[in-house]
Amino acid sequence: MHPAISVIFFTVSSGAGFGLIFLICLGVQLPESGLPAFLVSLLAGGLAVIGLISSTFHLGHPERAWRAFSQWQSSWLSREGVLAVATLAAFAIYALLWTFTGNRVETLGLLVSLLAAATVFATAMIYAQLKTVPNWHVWLTPAVYLAFSFVSGLILAGMINAQGRILGIELPWLIFICVLGAWALKVAWWKRADRIGFSETGSDTGTATGLGSLGQVRLLERPHTGENYLTREMVHKIGRKHAMKLRLLALIAGCGIPMVLSAIAAFSSSGELPMALAVLSLAIGLFTERWLFFAEAKHAVSLYY
Amino acid sequence: MTSLPASTEKKLGLVIDLDICVGCHACVVNCKEWNTGGYGAPLGDIDAYGSNPSGAWLNRIHTFEITPEDAPAQIVHFPKSCLHCDDAPCVTVCPTGASYKRSEDGIVLVDEDMCIGCGLCAWACPYGAREMDPVENVMKKCTLCVDRIYNENLEEVDRVPACVRTCPAEARHFGDFADPQSDVSKMVKERRGIDLMPEMETNPINKYLPPRPKSAPTNDKRPRNVETDSSPAPGSFLDWVDRMLEKI
C-alpha cells in the first residue's frame, strides 16, 4: 500500500494526542491548574488536532470533509471522525474547568478517556476491517494502535511530570514496562504478517481469475504498459526491499532508546529531560513503524498485476 | 445510505465469456468514450499524449496464461470491471454516503458531488474496480452505463452497457441475474459461471464463463519440435546431402 505521509503523520500524532488526553482525563498527576494546565491540555489537544488536519490533506476534496460525519452507522472512517470531534469537544470542557478552577471532574474525565480510546480504536479499525489487506485484517492491529497511543501519551506525561505515579508505580518504570509490552505486540503483528501472505483468505491468482482449477495461472500481460491509480496506490513494493533494516531502526528508536532513557529518568532527580529525548526517539520509531505498516502491506488487487 | 439494501429487485450485471474474448480492448475504449461524456465528471487523463500517460478507466483487460499439468499452456484475455457485488465492501466503508447500491436494480454507484476522494472504497475492493479520477479527484467506477440502459432516447438495441454493445466477438452479455429465465442466468447455469475471489465474501453479480475444455493433443499430433524433429528422412536426398556436408 502507498505510504501517504499525511496519513502516517495523522496516525502517529493523533495517536499520541489522544493517548495523552486519555491519561490526563484519568487523573494522572500533572500541574494543579492555571497556565501549566492549559499548556498541557494544548499539547494533548494540539497533537490530536494537527493529526486530524493532516489527514484531510490526502483527500481529493478536503472542503467536503464535513460530509464524513454522516455515515457513522456503517463506516469506521465516519465513526472515527465523529468520535474524534466528540472527544475533543468534551476534552475542551474538561481542560477549561481544570485550567480555571483546578478541578478535574472525574465523571467527565472518565467519559473523555473512553471516547479517546474509542477514537484510536476506530482509527485502527479503518485498516483492520479491510479483508483485502491480510496484514491489517486482524485484532492485533487495533491492539497495536491502542498500545502505541497509550505509550505515546505515557511518555509525554513523563516528560511533563517524571515524578508522577499511576497505581503507585513511578511513571519512568511504568513507561519502561509499557514500551516493552507495546513493541512485543508489534513484533507479534510482524511475525504474523510475515507468515500469512494471502494464505488466510486462500486468495491467489487462481481464485482472483477463477481459473485456478484449470492449471497454474500467471499474468502474461498487464492491461497497460504504464502505471495507474491501482498500481500506485496498492501495488507498492518499495517497503519490502529494506523492511528488515527499517524494522530494526523502529525497534531501536521506538523501543530500546526510550527504555534506556526511562531507566535513566527513574534514577535521576529530574527525569523530564531524558523523557523529552524519549519522546523524540519514540516519534522516529513510530514514524518508521507506521511507514512500514503501509509500505509492507499487500493488497488483493496485486494478484491481478 | 452506505448501508447495503437487504435485497434488490433486480440484479443487473454482466456475463463475460472468457472462451470468446479475443483481447481486442474495444470494450475498454468504448467504455472510456461513453463514460467520459456520460454520467458524472469526464474520465480524466494526465499526460494523455506524452511519454507517461495515466488516467481513470472503468474497464481494463488483463491477459493470463494457464498451464495445465498435462496439456500445453493457453492464453485467456480477462476483462475486469466493477462486479456490482451484493455485499459490496466498497459501499459500507464510505464515510460520506457517496457510495451506494441501488435497491431497484443492484447497481453500485458513486454520487460524485458527495465524494471526498478519500480512496477507502478502492482499498476495500479486492478487484481493483475503482479508480480515482486524476483531474476531478473523485472516485470513478463502472455505472453499468446507467445513462444508457434506461435511456429512451436511444434505439432499443443500444440500451445496454457500451462495452456489451461494442464487443465484436459477443463475449459480453448484460441482463438480470435475479430472473432465472434471463439469458444471462441460463448462460451461467449452462457454462458453470464463476465468481472472482469468492473467499472475499463479496457475492459478485457479474459472472465469468471459463474457457471450454480443450481437446488434448495426442502424441502423434503434437506440434513438431524444430530442434529434434528437423533432421531429413533417412535414405532421402536431403539425408545424403546432410551426411556429405557433415564430412567436409
Interface confidence (ipTM) of the complex: 0.92
Interval A68-72 mean pLDDT: 94
The Cα–Cα gap between B58 and B168 comes to 19
The Cα–Cα gap between A19 and A48 comes to 9
CB B64 within 8 A of CB B76: yes
Three-state SS for B60? strand
Q: Tell whether A220 is covered by a domain.
A: no
CB contacts of B71 in chain A (<8 Å) are 215
User: Which residues on adjacent β-strands are paired with residue B64?
Assistant: A219, B76
The residues spanned by each domain of chain B are: 12-209
Give backbone dihedrals phi and psi of A269, rounded to 5 degrees, phi first: -75, -35
Q: Which CATH topology does B12-209 take?
A: Alpha-Beta Plaits (3.30.70)
Mutate: best of B15, B116, B188, B203, partner A, most A CBs <10 A: B116
Three-state SS for A126? helix
CB B99 within 8 A of CB B122: no
| Residue B130: predicted pLDDT | 96
| Residue A63: predicted pLDDT | 93
CB-neighbour burial class of residue A303 (10 A; exposed 0-12, middle 13-18, buried 19+): buried
Mutate: best of B74, B93, B111, B192, partner A, most A CBs <10 A: B93
Helix (H) or strand (E) holding B78: strand B74-81
The Cα–Cα gap between B239 and B246 comes to 11
The arrangement of strands across the sheet holding B74-81 comes to: A216-221, B59-67, B74-81
| Residue B221: predicted pLDDT | 62
Q: Tell whether A221 is covered by a domain.
A: no
Interval B21-28 mean pLDDT: 96
Interval A102-130 mean pLDDT: 96
| Residue B219: predicted pLDDT | 63
Does the pLDDT at position B132 exceed 80?
A: yes
CB B69 within 8 A of CB A215: yes
Q: Closest partner residue to B117 among A60, A78, A201, by Cβ?
A: A60
Q: What are the pLDDT digits (tens) for A194-208?
A: 998 887 888 999 999
Question: Is the CB of B118 less than 8 angstroms away from the CB of A129?
Answer: no
The Cα–Cα gap between A247 and B139 comes to 34
Q: Closest partner residue to B208 among A203, A210, A226, by Cβ?
A: A210
Does the pLDDT at position A183 exceed 80?
A: yes
Does the pLDDT at position B232 exceed 80?
A: no
Query: To the nearest whole number, what is the mean pLDDT of chain A?
Result: 93
| Residue A168: predicted pLDDT | 84
Interval A176-199 mean pLDDT: 94
- Among B115, B125, B164, smallest CA distance to B17 is for B164
- List the single residue in A with minimal CA-CA distance to B4: A74
Q: Closest partner residue to B119 among A78, A214, A233, by Cβ?
A: A233
- List the single residue in A with minimal CA-CA distance to B59: A223
Q: Tell whether A219 is covered by a domain.
A: no
Q: What are the pLDDT digits (tens) for B53-105?
A: 999 999 999 999 999 988 889 999 999 999 999 999 999 999 999 999 999 99
- The whole-angstrom distance between B235's CA and the closest CA on chain A is 43
- Among A226, A171, A150, A175, smallest CA distance to A28 is for A171
Helix (H) or strand (E) holding A102: none
The Cα–Cα gap between B18 and B23 comes to 10
- Among A289, A109, A252, A265, smallest CA distance to A174 is for A265
Q: What is the largest CA-CA distance in chain A?
A: 74
Size of interface A-B (CB pairs under 8 A): 191
Give backbone dihedrals phi and psi of A216, rounded to 5 degrees, phi first: -75, 125
Interval B20-27 mean pLDDT: 96
| Residue A235: predicted pLDDT | 85
Q: Tell whether A140 is covered by a domain.
A: yes
CB contacts of B65 in chain A (<8 Å) are 217-220
Confidence of residue B1 (pLDDT cuts 50, 70, 90): low
The Cα–Cα gap between A148 and A142 comes to 10
- Our CA angle for A215, B201, B40, nearest 5°, is 100
The Cα–Cα gap between B95 and B34 comes to 29
C-alpha A174 chain-centroid distance? 20
- Our CA angle for A168, A170, A176, nearest 5°, is 125
Strands B59-67 and B74-81: antiparallel
Looking at the structure of chain A, the number of domains it has is 1
C-alpha distances (whole Å) from B158 to each of B79, B82, B174, B181 are 21, 20, 12, 22
Query: To the nearest whole number, what is the mean pLDDT of chain B?
Result: 92
- CA dihedral A16→A19→A24→A30, nearest 10 degrees, is -50
The Cα–Cα gap between B140 and B29 comes to 16
Strands (E), A97-243: 165-166, 169-170, 216-221
Domain that holds residue A208: 5-214+227-304
Kindly report which listed range (A104-118, A165-179, B112-126) carries the lowest average pLDDT score: A165-179
Confidence of residue B184 (pLDDT cuts 50, 70, 90): very high
User: Which residues on adjacent β-strands are paired with residue A21?
Assistant: none
Kindly report which listed range (A22-36, A202-216, A232-246, B157-171) carries the lowest average pLDDT score: A232-246
- Our CA angle for B43, B46, B47, nearest 5°, is 135
Q: What are the pLDDT digits (tens) for A27-57?
A: 888 877 789 999 999 999 999 999 999 999 9
Does the pLDDT at position B153 exceed 70?
A: yes
- The whole-angstrom distance between A181's CA and the closest CA on chain B is 30
Three-state SS for B55? strand
Question: Is the CB of A78 less than 8 angstroms away from the CB of B95?
Answer: yes
Q: How far apart are the two ends of chain A, measured CA to CA in Å? A: 14
Total residue length of chain B = 248
CATH number, domain of A48, equals 1.20.1630
